[in-house]
Structure 1
Amino acid sequence: MTSAVLAIDQGTSATKALVVAEDGTVLAEVDRPLCVRTPEPGAVEVDPGELLASVLDAGRAAVAAAGVGAGVVGLANQGETVLAWDPATGEALSQCVVWQDRRAVEVCESLRDVAARLGEISGLPLDPYFSAPKMRWLRERVGAGGVVTTTDTWLLHRLTGEFVTDVATASRSMVLDLESGTWSDEAWELFGLTERRPRLAGNDEVVGTTSAFGTEAPVAGVIVDQQAALWAQRCRERGEAKCTYGTGAFLLVNTGDRPQRSDAGLTPSVAWQIAGQRRWCLDGQVYTVGKAVSWLRDVGLLGPAGELDELASTVSDTAGVVFVPSLAGLAAPHWQPGATGGFLGLNLAATRAHLARAVCVGIAAQIVDLVDAAAADLGGTAPRLRLDGGLTRSRTLVQLQADLLQAPVEVAAAPHATALGVADLALRGATGRALPDPRPSTVVEPSRPPAWAAEQLGRWRSALAATRQFSGEGRAFPGRADS
């Protein structure tokens, strides 16, 4: 019998490790922060040595704290973060280029003529957010030798010796065929990539074994982080949706057993492949959510973690201030990588509390745009939203989300849905058993009238248009929703 599951959620700004018993009890939880560096505008990097150390340290500390062995290990990854490395030694040859990094915009510009074809194959718009543009950009800088892959392939190689990724992560690359769930030779060639390609695994598949956290244990439940949260939130049927508020915010809606191309600017990808059966989802992204909050702390507008909610709850409005959180470009549904964010409507009556509340409103408003896009793709029916992630601890943000949506939202009892999704998938892969259903969510109802929501969203959309114009990006990549 499996003693416990070690579930590792390797995220952008931290690595979280949970040890979960088969009855669903979380026996230990450990976080190891990561230093995310921005050496120049558009650049977002993490040191690979720190990344690997965070995985090993968090996992070992969680196992020690739990006092039980890890009978199976699962791993969630960032999805689109890449690095170059030597497959013979496992040594990194570059920094990790994080999914928020915009420097591959020049690669996208060079491929404008084939963007439509790449979209047909992968279902994705040509944007530096995805893996393949960053892989091409990095390959041009590191020269020949080694391989360039997403970080999960490197971490799994260091843990197990295997060369593998999962099909959900691969579907975020632009070089996977969306329909077949296999690598596309044509897409690899269009990107000019001749890399060795990792083996594609299912999300409940045992991909190897590791002794990095104690005795030898199988590794299963390998998946991109947002799809792990979709699974944990029990969004198993078409139309069910979740939003995770982490470094960024990501809305995913299950679209069933066939891929659905979006007419509203969302991105289709594989949700998961379990027991050989594949399901798909639509994805909408806000790149800087938790990162916007930490940036406010870095520049001195906020104090310690938790002050956002503390300040925002002391005022009932924003004193006319509007915040647009596009500090690392705009993803769905606009696809404007050069967009910038900003505070608009600043005035002498505005205090730090009003700015904090404006941040909450701005984040929630951008999620409403994603929900509206999902509703358009689903035939006009807005999905009921299930929320998870660290920022759901902010009661102000969650209430504003319900108020702006004018619909109830369900908040997960535990904020770490990604790790719990990994734990369940890993357990299924290793034993055929599943974790019990999670504790019931808290339902938050709207507290403001529709006229208030319409007025707030109208002002926010005007501010969004102003910041997009200020960014000065005149050209759109082909396939962008509003091109």
Structure 2
Amino acid sequence: MTGPVLAVDQGTSGTKALVICPERGVLGTGFTAVRPRHLPGGLVEADPAELYDSVVDAGRQALAEAAEPVVALGLANQGETVLAWDPDTGRPLTDALVWQDRRAETVCAGLAAHGEELRELTGLPLDPYFAAPKMAWIRRHRTTEGVVTTSDAWLVHRLTGAFVTDAATAGRTQLLDLDRAEWSPRALDLYGLAGERLPEVVDGARPVGTTTAFGAGIPLTGLAVDQQAALLAQRVTAPGGAKCTYGTGAFLLAHTGDTPRRGGSGLVSCVAWRLAGHISYCLDGQVYTAASAVRWLTDLGVITGAADLDTVGATVPDSGGVTFVPAFAGLAAPWWRGDLRGSLTGLGLDTGPGHLVRALCEGLAAQVAELADAAADDLGTPLDVLRVDGGLTRSALLMQTQADLLQRPVEVSALPDATALGAGALARLGATPGLALADALPDWRPSAVYEPRIDADQAAERRARFRSAVTALLDGAPA
């Protein structure tokens, strides 16, 4: 099947839509912001109606700009955001608990004795970041009515009437048997969710249903969780490569082939995608706050936005001894200490905005470097290169810092919307029988390549300083 496809990336802070033609590239774009509510105690909620409306609005914008029909729709989702809803009417029964929300810590605490069993079964550590603890919390504290699922299942139902989730998104719940990519009766039992009606787990590229939400009927043929969609668009489809997306958080994924890796590094082992019944796996590491940490500096008035990182950072040669652990929503992989908060140490009366900017860039880059090292440990071989995408890759300071601390080249994708492009590739694959995966993917090329400018000893020294600050947080002592 030839012709353009509509690709929609429903993200934490907004929904991006692209109309993509295999020959002519992006023909139309749309964006609609969403505004999650950050409440005391680590609570983060979103209005489900706002999520759905953003999908429709952004999609219609892209279609209007393209001014030509599309043959298929692909949808990428946030992964671990959940809500309860009525399967008969589609009406939400709760707000959506966003992936950053920490309220399910009590659920995890109650399952601490089963943490290792759940990790072996599902590939995921016990943490309220994932969907199952939030689902169980909703059942205990909000409602026992309807169904409780990740946000994608609700969006797909609203669009098409189908009740499905793709294997990669299901793998973000801690309810999926990692080896079989099927719901795990044991995990459901542990979470008290054994009687739940759950969506059918399907391939990421296949006809699901047809939607008229954008006007004329469009077949929905591609489904993906956001980070795996970006991994696909970056053409990391075999072991040895990794990508990192710098969005609200920063997420590093490394492909591990057709076998899940359950190493001891602290990374998550999960489904990358399931296509034509064949499962590919990846390792996943998370930094909970990236662009959201930049927004924190902006809200303080240190900078006016992400575009200031390079100009303000250029006013000083280094961080001036300041060390920043930007764990505003806790530390994820490889530490898994969501209860911790960030630290900013080494401040002096001579500390200025430039030092804070450089310290933030170094803190973000150091966390990603820790994830890359952990992935290499689990794979048993170093990563050759890191491919990166997302809004913060526009910062030359951050990308150079990343290359310096990683001691590997960093290739910045020329594709600014990798997640949507990955969803579009899956839509094309699902709509075109016999199409090869490589032929469905966008051409990949770097817009810039950053090589390390410092030697290994300097990188090790800077990373050791960051690790010391993290250790102080873990020990509960001032850095």
**TM-score, length basis structure 2:** 0.96
1:195 Cα offset (Å): 1.7
Which residue pairs with 2:423 in the alignment? 422
Task: Please tell me whether the aligned partners of residues 235 and 441 of structure 2 are also in contact (alpha carbons under 8 angstroms).
Answer: no
2:173 partner letter? S
Q: Relative to structure 2, which stretch is displaced further, 291-300 or 387-396? A: 291-300
Which residue pairs with 2:152 in the alignment? 152
1:383 Cα offset (Å): 4.2
Which residue pairs with 1:455 in the alignment? 461
Which residue pairs with 1:262 in the alignment? 263
1:471 Cα offset (Å): 8.2
In structure 2, what is the Cα distance between the partners aligned to 1:108 and 1:383?
Answer: 36
SS for the counterpart of 1:309 is: helix
1:344 Cα offset (Å): 1.0
2:295 partner letter? S
1:23-44 CA deviation, whole Å, 9 max, x = no partner? 2511122221111211212101
In structure 2, what is the Cα distance between the partners aligned to 1:351 and 1:306?
Answer: 18
2:215 partner letter? G
Which residue pairs with 2:235 in the alignment? 234
Which residue pairs with 1:340 in the alignment? 341
Which residue pairs with 2:445 in the alignment? 440
Which residue pairs with 2:129 in the alignment? 129
Task: Please tell me whether the aligned partners of residues 262 and 282 of structure 1 are also in contact (alpha carbons under 8 angstroms).
Answer: no
SS for the counterpart of 1:128 is: coil
1:255-298 CA deviation, whole Å, 9 max, x = no partner? 11111112111010011111221110110000000111112222
Task: Please tell me whether the aligned partners of residues 70 and 213 of structure 1 are also in contact (alpha carbons under 8 angstroms).
Answer: no
Task: Please tell me whether the aligned partners of residues 262 and 377 of structure 1 are also in contact (alpha carbons under 8 angstroms).
Answer: yes
SS for the counterpart of 1:381 is: coil
Which residue pairs with 1:475 in the alignment? none
2:276 partner letter? A
1:454 Cα offset (Å): 1.5
Which residue pairs with 1:476 in the alignment? none
SS for the counterpart of 1:89 is: coil
- Tell me whether 1:169 sits opposite 2:175 in the alignment: no
Which residue pairs with 1:196 in the alignment? 197
In structure 2, what is the Cα distance between the partners aligned to 1:262 and 1:64?
Answer: 48
SS for the counterpart of 1:235 is: coil
SS for the counterpart of 1:255 is: strand
SS for the counterpart of 2:180 is: coil
1:215-230 equivalences in 2 (<5 Å)? 215-230=216-231
Q: Relative to structure 2, which stretch is displaced further, 157-166 or 68-77? A: 68-77
1:2 Cα offset (Å): 4.2
Task: Please tell me whether the aligned partners of residues 243 and 386 of structure 1 are also in contact (alpha carbons under 8 angstroms).
Answer: yes
In structure 2, what is the Cα distance between the partners aligned to 1:470 and 1:37?
Answer: 29
In structure 2, what is the Cα distance between the partners aligned to 1:452 and 1:388?
Answer: 26
In structure 2, what is the Cα distance between the partners aligned to 1:245 and 1:198?
Answer: 30
In structure 2, what is the Cα distance between the partners aligned to 1:195 and 1:17?
Answer: 32
1:371 Cα offset (Å): 0.7
Task: Please tell me whether the aligned partners of residues 371 and 383 of structure 1 are also in contact (alpha carbons under 8 angstroms).
Answer: no
**TM-score, length basis structure 1:** 0.95
Give the unaligned 5+ runs of structure 1.
473-483
1:131 partner letter? A
SS for the counterpart of 2:337 is: coil
Task: Please tell me whether the aligned partners of residues 228 and 418 of structure 1 are also in contact (alpha carbons under 8 angstroms).
Answer: yes
1:436 Cα offset (Å): 5.7
Q: Aligned-residue CA RMSD in angstroms?
A: 1.5
In structure 2, what is the Cα distance between the partners aligned to 1:71 and 1:35?
Answer: 31
1:334-483 equivalences in 2 (<5 Å)? 334-432=335-433, 433=435, 434-435=439-440, 437-441=442-446, 442-470=448-476
Give the unaligned 5+ runs of structure 2.
none
1:438 partner letter? D
Q: Relative to structure 2, which stretch is displaced further, 225-234 or 28-37? A: 28-37
SS for the counterpart of 2:476 is: helix
1:372-405 CA deviation, whole Å, 9 max, x = no partner? 1011111142342111111111111111100111
In structure 2, what is the Cα distance between the partners aligned to 1:141 and 1:69?
Answer: 45
In structure 1, what is the Cα distance between the partners aligned to 2:333 and 2:366?
Answer: 13
SS for the counterpart of 1:284 is: strand
Q: Relative to structure 2, which stretch is displaced further, 125-134 or 38-47? A: 38-47
Which residue pairs with 2:283 in the alignment? 282
In structure 2, what is the Cα distance between the partners aligned to 1:49 and 1:190?
Answer: 31
1:345 Cα offset (Å): 0.8
In structure 2, what is the Cα distance between the partners aligned to 1:106 and 1:429?
Answer: 40
SS for the counterpart of 1:238 is: coil
Task: Please tell me whether the aligned partners of residues 249 and 286 of structure 2 are also in contact (alpha carbons under 8 angstroms).
Answer: yes
2:182 partner letter? T
In structure 2, what is the Cα distance between the partners aligned to 1:67 and 1:359?
Answer: 42
